[in-house]
Amino acid sequence: MARINENFLKLPGSYLFSEVAKRRKAYAKEHPEADLISLGIGDVTLPLTPTAVSALHKGADEMSRKETFKGYGPEQGYAFLRSDIARVDFGYRGVRIEPDEIFISDGSKSDTGNIGDIFSPDNIVAVCDPVYPVYIDTNAMAGRAGNYDHETGKWDRLVYASGTPDNDFVPDVPELYGDDAPDMIYLCFPNNPTGTVATRRQLKKWVDYALENEAVILFDAAYEAYITDQEIPHSIYEIPGATECAIEFRSFSKNAGFTGLRCSYTVIPKALEVGGVSLNSLWNRRHNTKFNGTPYIVQLAADSVYTPDGAAQTQALVDHYLENAGIIRAGLEEAGYSVWGGVNSPYVWLRTIDGMSSWEFFDYLLKELNIVGTPGSGFGPSGAGYFRLTGFGSRENTLRAVERIKKGKLV
Ligand code: MLT
């Protein structure tokens, strides 16, 4: 008799963004007249850049001719993209990453979710709280999270590093799990969901902690393009020692608007070993076995980001969303909310009003103001009483949403 992976049965409720979409849909069905504005999931709204579009056309033309047609590509990604990433994303910042330390993939959600394949199911995992739910849910599926406690909203085998207003939502290194330090540590900066960033000093503390405890940091830098502050590191590898203890995830979704096209990459330095085994070669083995590569034409489009025109057009997309986030932040502040993020990040994090729970505030925004956002408690227990809005909406909708929030009613 076949048996299922029973860890899936331990997962509480549905995936956060599916739940938000479900509630939005139900409300829209009951109120077809409602003019809903979505500032919930961090999905982009501007079209691809002209440079990316012409790369897609070029790729499609190549695929249509016998002489230039391409079948399977290298599982790790085409050399042209891997070398441009190494040269620009890291080389320009004074960080040496080799092309063969870069694995092109179809999304940071997949990669941060799949990376657990190369780690022992017994590892102790630490997460920041609040946190992007993929890190927790995928570890729960693998059996690393233990059991979920509905009272506390925590998994009993995970270590939580709490983000609070006191630490400006940049958690300090976590407590031990029993006598043990965590083996795998998920960090995300600029942070999803709080929009806060970690300074060099703060990141150094995590890197030193990982080196000292022989832990691996899984650093999600999907939002690095939003960093405007010169002092804030874009990559964990800007911190000395990080190539020996960290894996980094990057995405083309939030800078170049590839949420629908799908392209990302993961960096695993060859210096990173666990128990004398290279994680680069383990991931390579996993990638070769389970993945047949990101489509050629998508990689061409991703590579166009590294041309002068592509870089300028991509920056214009980022600037647009960043400006949206600034508009939301300023509007919320004017309306008297306590707010974080929205400066080096497309996400704005706010404290709910009148002691409302995150889901009560979700209902208030949905039903009274016809705005869809994301409840902070969906990102973990420390998110309770908080709420996330994104700068990824259209400018028009962002302005209209902010007007509604400032007036506390539909306008
Ligand atoms: C989010 O809203 O947190 C993100 O869009 C989710 C994702 O990138 O998968």
- What does 82-109 look like in DSSP terms, one character per residue? HHHIIIIIIGGGT----GGGEEEES-HH
Sheet with 374-375, edge to edge strand ranges = 339-341, 347-351, 386-390, 374-375
Percent of residues, the chain, with pLDDT higher than 70? 99
CB of 42 shorter than 6 A to ligand 1: yes
Q: Which atom of ligand 1 is nearest to the CA of 374?
A: 2
Regions of the chain short of the pLDDT cut 50: none
Query: pTM for the full model?
Result: 0.96
- CA dist 375 to 27, 258, 262, 362, Å? 16, 25, 26, 6
CB of 393 shorter than 6 A to ligand 1: no
Is 59 a domain residue? Answer: no
Are residue 40 and residue 158 in the same domain, yes or no? no
CB of 262 shorter than 6 A to ligand 1: no
Is 385 a domain residue? Answer: yes
CATH value at residue 401: 3.90.1150.10
Q: What is the pLDDT of residue 177?
A: 82
How far is 203 from 222, CA to CA, in rounded Å?
16
How far is 95 from 172, CA to CA, in rounded Å?
25
Please state the domain count of the chain. 2
- Letter string b/e over residues 91-106, b meaning 16 or more CB atoms within 10 A of that residue's CB: eeeebebebebbbbbb
Centre of ligand 1 to C-alpha 69, Å, is 34
- Structural domain ending residue among the three candidates 251, 274, 305: 305
How far is 385 from 117, CA to CA, in rounded Å?
34
Residue nearest to atom 6 of ligand 1 (CA): 42
Q: What is the pLDDT of residue 175?
A: 83
29 CB contacts (<8 Å, ≥6 apart)? none
CB 196 within 8 A of CB 131: no
Are residue 99 and residue 145 in the same domain, yes or no? yes
Q: Six-digit token pair at 381?
A: 């227990």
Closest CA to 311 of 379, 247, 225, 410: 225
Q: Which atom of ligand 1 is nearest to the CA of 193?
A: 3
Is 58 a domain residue? Answer: no
Are residue 159 and residue 173 in the same domain, yes or no? yes
Q: What is the pLDDT of residue 5?
A: 97
Centre of ligand 1 to C-alpha 19, Å, is 13
Q: What is the pLDDT of residue 14?
A: 81
CB 329 within 8 A of CB 347: no
Are residue 301 and residue 315 in the same domain, yes or no? no
Return the best residue to mutate from 43, 106, 252, 255 for the ligand 1 pocket (most ligand atoms within 8 A of CB).
43
How many CA atoms, within 13 angstroms, populate the side-chain half-sphere of residue 75? 10
Return the best residue to mutate from 15, 16, 17 for the ligand 1 pocket (most ligand atoms within 8 A of CB).
17
- Structural domain ending residue among the three candidates 255, 286, 305: 305
Are residue 79 and residue 153 in the same domain, yes or no? yes
Is 62 a domain residue? Answer: no
Are residue 264 and residue 381 in the same domain, yes or no? no
Q: Which atom of ligand 1 is nearest to the CA of 259?
A: 8
Centre of ligand 1 to C-alpha 71, Å, is 31
Are residue 75 and residue 114 in the same domain, yes or no? yes
Closest CA to 217 of 226, 205, 234: 205
Helix (H) or strand (E) holding 51: helix 50-63
Is 110 a domain residue? Answer: yes
Centre of ligand 1 to C-alpha 58, Å, is 29
Are residue 296 and residue 319 in the same domain, yes or no? no
Neighbours of 67 (CB within 10 A): 5
Centre of ligand 1 to C-alpha 62, Å, is 32
pLDDT in tens, 344-386: 999 999 999 989 999 999 999 999 999 999 999 999 999 999 9
Return the best residue to mutate from 41, 263, 372 for the ligand 1 pocket (most ligand atoms within 8 A of CB).
41
| Region for 201 from its dihedrals, namely left if φ exceeds 0, alpha if ψ lies in -120 to 50, beta otherwise | alpha
Are residue 90 and residue 35 in the same domain, yes or no? no
- Structural domain ending residue among the three candidates 290, 305, 320: 305
CATH value at residue 160: 3.40.640.10
Neighbours of 307 (CB within 10 A): 14
Is 54 a domain residue? Answer: no
Is 55 a domain residue? Answer: no
Query: Could you tell me whether strands 125-129 and 184-188 are parallel, antiparallel, or unpaired per DSSP bridges?
Result: parallel
Are residue 28 and residue 106 in the same domain, yes or no? no
Are residue 19 and residue 85 in the same domain, yes or no? no
Q: What is the pLDDT of residue 334?
A: 94
CB of 41 shorter than 6 A to ligand 1: yes
Return the best residue to mutate from 45, 132, 194 for the ligand 1 pocket (most ligand atoms within 8 A of CB).
132
Alpha helices in 105-179 (DSSP H): 108-114, 133-141
Q: What is the pLDDT of residue 194?
A: 98
Residue 254's domain comprises: 69-305
How far is 205 from 233, CA to CA, in rounded Å?
14
CB of 76 shorter than 6 A to ligand 1: no
pLDDT in tens, 252-289: 999 999 999 999 999 999 999 999 999 999 999 999 99
Centre of ligand 1 to C-alpha 271, Å, is 30
Rounded to 5 degrees, φ, ψ at 154 are -115, 155
Are residue 369 and residue 292 in the same domain, yes or no? no
Centre of ligand 1 to C-alpha 134, Å, is 9
Centre of ligand 1 to C-alpha 192, Å, is 8
How far is 77 from 101, CA to CA, in rounded Å?
11
Centre of ligand 1 to C-alpha 132, Å, is 8
Centre of ligand 1 to C-alpha 238, Å, is 25
Is 353 a domain residue? Answer: yes
CB of 109 shorter than 6 A to ligand 1: yes
List the beta bridge partners of residue 390.
347
